[in-house]
Amino acid sequence: VQLVESGGGSVQAGGSLTLSCVVSGLSLDTYVVAWFRQAPGKEREGVAYIGSGDVDTYYVNSVEGRFIISSDKSKNTVYLQMNDLKPEDTAVYYCAADLAVVVITTVMLRREASALDYWGKGTLVTVSS
């Protein structure tokens, strides 16, 4: 199993970035993928997830209306489009996967991120004011 993130970089406040997570060894029809982020000195937090049916999506309040999660099953890839970026969005962004019940409870209930089994190595997003 491998999850590989890309698309991070440095942008000014108000700018946009799109992150990609290529998943191998897991079926997106069975597993749910979420994006997490970890800012310096802070705990890793769930940002968004997309259900295996591509219908269910969830965003934490701090990014709702600015970030969009989507997937392309033909490419086994999950995307995170980030718009109107703010300096507080600066973090290492990780994609992670597990069964739906684990992802949903971890992200929505803000439980320990380590509950998810499969992780990428992360991509850095830096937003300057």
CB atoms within 10 A of CB 20: 17
pLDDT of residue 55: 75
DSSP 8-state secondary structure symbol assigned to residue 25: S
Q: Per-residue confidence of the chain (129 residues) as pLDDT tens digits? A: 999 999 999 999 999 999 999 999 999 999 999 999 999 999 999 999 998 777 789 999 999 999 999 999 999 999 999 999 999 999 999 999 999 999 999 998 888 888 999 999 999 999 999
pLDDT of residue 52: 79
Q: Which amino acid is at 89?
A: D
